[in-house]
Structure 1
């Protein structure tokens, strides 16, 4: 069925008609009012002509010296713009005629003032003033007529607009409201599963007729499909409930992994959510590093229950596994796969966060090293040069001055050497977040400083340390290895990183050198003090002692 007479089109035409009538009535009224803006001025000027006429008669009799001035003023008033605009086609003929007669009469009177005796002007001025009165009266009636026209135009426009509005209301009631009410009643019946609604008016030539016909056809089709849909609804409901539960679990897991810092607590929270949702006996996450693994779980495993696992991969490379035990109903496979994928991304972001934080720390330390090099190192170099010049200058002087200069030289040399060591410490650059790889990278330049064999045995998971902990641990290991190289004459240095039986992180550096004589540092040396301060920053403890078979053993223990 085609739409023959659109509701929107009919309403649009009516509204356009209303707008046109409004514009016309308002425009005509505004035009008339605009034309009346200077009517009051014209009446006022015309009225003043009477007074000026009598004043000229008085001055003419007394021979006043202001006669010519007032005569020019009268001429200016008679030809004022407010009066000149009366000479237009839409101005009534009697107004134009009276104004024209008034101007012509004035020409004769003006000639009498200038050429004839005063008695001639005084004899004609009363007749002239009478003409002015008639002209003023005509102006007044003309102004009143325009106001009447404005009122008439407004009333006619309002009547026409009200008529169109009543037509629109009647049209909407018959063509829109009644059919819509029937459609609403039919839809409410269909909502109550009653498809035998009263027949709709399908003969309307507008959109509602098309809608009524389509609605009637649709209700018939729905009545046929309702039975089959009821059977499928139950199946879909069960699937949707399962999908909703899966989405809720995934959303909760995603929220847990959206924390600012991904650590063991976040991963344990994810495992706890999955275990509670799927009613698992136990669930574990194993993350494999290069030489170690990071493992934690939720729940108590039972030996009689089998383990089920999913491999966690990143870029087609295995990163670990997700394992679980269930007693009754197995978990949804798609859910467990999705959780495994989320944990894989979480492990990746954990490493990425650690690399980023480590990079920021290294960048900050490099900045400090540059500032020290550009300021303090340059100053110490300048002082050493100045001290050398001073030695040459005071050569052969008193022995006391020479001893003071020598002491100052030694102190300056110690300060310069300590600054160089500090710069080397600050310039330590580690780019890898994996603890084993970072240790290997840090030890490479140290192996070039000694013939001793340096061994590394790392069984500590990288995820057990955050970026700051890893940087402090690397600095302690570096300082301990440097001490073994410089002071112990060691031939073998062994670094072991592992988890202690109590669950803490433990890093041990052993050498076979001469062994440390005392824990009291010489004056001007601060290596051991800095190592202890770093251990405190880690929340742990640093133990330095002589080994059982000789050498020195440095043991760092701190919580994960």
Structure 2
């Protein structure tokens, strides 16, 4: 069974611990055993010494057999009993099978049964004394043998302990060396290899790989780490590919938006001429990669179209357009767009109405993506919107011309035509008087009225010329009134102030003309009749759509019965107020002066169906006036 690296390290550490524990236990056992043996060796040695002392006491007792000597011998024998019965030697008797145990038992038996009884007897002869010394000598010899046996036993224990300690130390060193080998060759190198790969990957180098030699867990870990690095590299490459794709798509979208913006900018500024269309086609060529493109306009109910601009590199489209071969383009437009080969037909249309076609050819159909087709469709819609805007602009110009003619006709009818009718009547009166042969005094008043009528007609003609020269340039009615006020002030010296308080409400061109002319007529009355020093023109917003225009002066005020041209001027102002569907009031101010007030609903403030109805009503009015 294969043992993994972690298990081997754990086993090695366990072996080191067991060997160390064995060594400690052996040392503890030896220490306990040696302590008792050392005490036994000391006691055995003291028995030899005590035997020698008893021998000396015996010798003294032979020389002087008195009581002190007897007492000394008794004490020495008692001391010998204590030493032989000592605890350190008694433990030797617990193991009678050992040599030391046998020797101790023999020594104690010899002492108790032979030597002590003999020594306790009084010495009666020289032979007895010799016999006692012989017994003591034998006891000393047994004590020496016991001491020697104990010493050899202790030395053997030390040898065994040394062997155990040495063996344990050798085995511990061997296990530690094995552990160091495992750490160095299977752990350290693997860790350093993984660390180097980790640093390389952190620096962006995904080609680095960890060493995978051997069959240890670190080899498996290195294989797994290398596999993970490989997967990370694949994921990074995949992400980089996706980033490149997204970047390319964003760049294409950016170019497409720039193309559409530039196209809208070119088409929004009239006129849409051939140079602008060709510039658009050239931008389309660089963006989509077309080889041929034609902007072909087809008027309503026309069998063939005409080329407004072309981008031709191979001559195919221009040749067919020169032949007038429009059938294929119209047939393909019936299906909105159709891909066939390298050709696509895009209709130029706006709000469901078709204005022409945009045939496009590419080198390779596979390179024409759906995004390109959508872009071409949007381009067709932009071109259709531009053509529709051009038509609307022409229609607005036509309506403006008709409205201008209607205004001129109405102005002539309301002013100069009346004056001429009045002059015609006066001429008829003069002719009648002359035919009757009327005296001069009867003819002169009619001539004076005729002269006054001619002056009024001349004045009205000049006012009409000023009206027809009036330009509505888009700067607003306030600016036009300030110019009229400046003209009046320069002409007659009357200071005229203009206060525009419309708050963002803008009038259309017709309303501006009527308002400016009413104010000009009021200022003309101030100039010719009021004898004023100051006048004020005020424009106010009364509600969502209600507009009020007032002209105040500090002149002499109104006459009780206005006559002459002044009467015609007020009639013209009332007619203009009716054209605005408004009302005008001319009244005296307190303490002096005149106020002319015009109130009407501004059509620029109307919305939705109301504005459309107003537009339709004006068109019908223009048509009726023209007829």
Tell whether the structures are fold-level matches, with TM greater than 0.5.
Answer: no
TM-score (norm 1): 0.38
Name the structure where helix makes up a greater proportion of residues. 2
Q: Which has the higher contact order (CA 8 A, sep 6+)?
A: 1
Higher Cα radius of gyration? 2
